[in-house]
Amino acid sequence: MSLLACRNASFAYDGRKVLEDVSFEVAVGGYLCIVGENGAGKSTLMQGLLGLVKPVGGSVEVGAEARAGGIGYLPQQTAVQKDFPASVEEVVLSGQLRRCGLRPFFGRGDRREAEAKLRLVRMQDFRKKCFRDLSGGQQRRVLLARALCATRSLLLLDEPAAGLDPRMQDEMYQILNELNREQGMTIVMITHDVQSALRCARQILHLNGRQLFFGSVEEYSQSAAGRRFIDGGPFRVLSGAAAKEGGAKLC
Ligand SMILES: Nc1ncnc2c1ncn2[C@@H]1O[C@H](COP(=O)(O)OP(=O)(O)OP(=O)(O)O)[C@@H](O)[C@H]1O
């Protein structure tokens, strides 16, 4: 069953097309990585999936389950976010504002939910800490917990591991992997880290102002677009199970 789909979707700013003819589907529980060079249209597409930018051609379809369960969004981090003068718990709770409706305060249930999301990202011990005193990797995990508060089924992530050191990047990818495999969370992630995309995702969408490739990770690694984009010599793609059995590091 498809949770998200684009059918021949095109996007433009002020009449200038920046992304043309994109078609793909993500199933419930899927994991899609969107790759491509700077300016390829990745963030524009994500804005389109969020309904913030309308396609000028074709369509973007968000399935009933995603509409009902909400969409969690982790945008690229800005300098302003890094200095946010609030506690970790307050930052995570702010992800539930939409659900509060007219209620002007957060209840015990909201706090329990925030704590559960912090546990999923391994940040439960930092609940009372000030957000701006955390490391970059810890801040990204708190913002991921915030995004999780907004959804039961679909996470859209714009470069969640950008700017983190390799250990923090690994931890972020591991958490996303657990959310996908253990919680059934559907993930759509923009990344410049194509090797991690190949390890973590099940599908790849490669953009360059248009769609260069959409399909499985295995097909991508064999495709002309994939071969050109994947860095550094021979690269063997392992499926999740094979990677685990072989002891390879699986996101
Ligand atoms: N709000 C906007 N108004 C006008 N043009 C825009 C706007 N946002 C993006 N663009 C243009 O659309 C094109 C695609 O940009 P987009 O940010 O989607 O690319 P990207 O693949 O996400 O790039 P990056 O990897 O650098 O983040 C670029 O030419 C960019 O200048």
Element spanning 21, H or E: strand 16-27
Question: Which DSSP category does 236 fall into?
Answer: -
Query: Which residue has a Cα nearest atom 25 of ligand 1?
Result: 38
Q: Which residue, 204, 198, 205, 203, is CA-closest to 235?
A: 198
Q: Which residue, 36, 65, 66, 35, is CA-closest to 49?
A: 66
Asked if 159 and 250 sit in the same domain, the reply is: yes
Given the CA of residue 45, which atom of ligand 1 is nearest to it? 18
Asked if 7 and 45 sit in the same domain, the reply is: yes
Asked if 94 and 218 sit in the same domain, the reply is: no
Q: Report whether 65 contacts 2 (CB < 8 A).
A: no
pLDDT tens-digit profile, the chain (251 residues):
689 999 999 999 999 999 999 999 999 999 999 999 999 999 999 999 999 999 999 999 998 888 888 899 999 877 666 777 789 999 999 887 666 555 566 678 888 989 999 999 999 999 999 999 999 889 999 999 999 998 989 999 999 998 888 998 999 999 999 999 999 999 999 999 999 999 999 999 999 999 999 999 999 999 988 988 886 433 444 444 444 343 334 45
**Which of 150, 166, 191 corresponds to the end of one domain?**
150
Asked if 219 and 250 sit in the same domain, the reply is: yes
Asked if 140 and 158 sit in the same domain, the reply is: no
Asked if 171 and 136 sit in the same domain, the reply is: no
ipTM (interface pTM)? 0.98
The count of domains in the chain is 2
Asked if 60 and 170 sit in the same domain, the reply is: yes
pTM of the model: 0.88
Span from the CA of 52 to the centroid of ligand 1 (angstroms): 14
Range of the domain at 7: 1-70+153-251
Tally of CA atoms within 13 A in the half-sphere of 53 that contains its CB = 22
**Which of 125, 150, 175 corresponds to the end of one domain?**
150
- If you compute the radius of gyration of the chain from its CA atoms, what whole number of angstroms results? 18
Two tokens, residue 94: 């702010």
Asked if 61 and 176 sit in the same domain, the reply is: yes
Asked if 166 and 144 sit in the same domain, the reply is: no
Asked if 223 and 210 sit in the same domain, the reply is: yes
- Ligand 1 contacts (CB < 6 A) are 13, 18, 36, 38-44
Distance CA 105, CA 98 (A): 12
Distance CA 174, CA 181 (A): 10
Asked if 143 and 165 sit in the same domain, the reply is: no
Asked if 1 and 88 sit in the same domain, the reply is: no
**Which of 128, 150, 172 corresponds to the end of one domain?**
150
pLDDT value at residue 103: 57
pLDDT value at residue 235: 41
Query: Which residue has a Cα nearest atom 16 of ligand 1?
Result: 41
Q: Report whether 142 contacts 118 (CB < 8 A).
A: yes
- Residue 239, domain CATH: 3.40.50.300
Given the CA of residue 47, which atom of ligand 1 is nearest to it? 18
Tally of CA atoms within 13 A in the half-sphere of 232 that contains its CB = 3
The residues, any chain, with a CB within 8 Å of residue 113's CB and separated by 6 or more, are 96, 149
pLDDT value at residue 1: 65
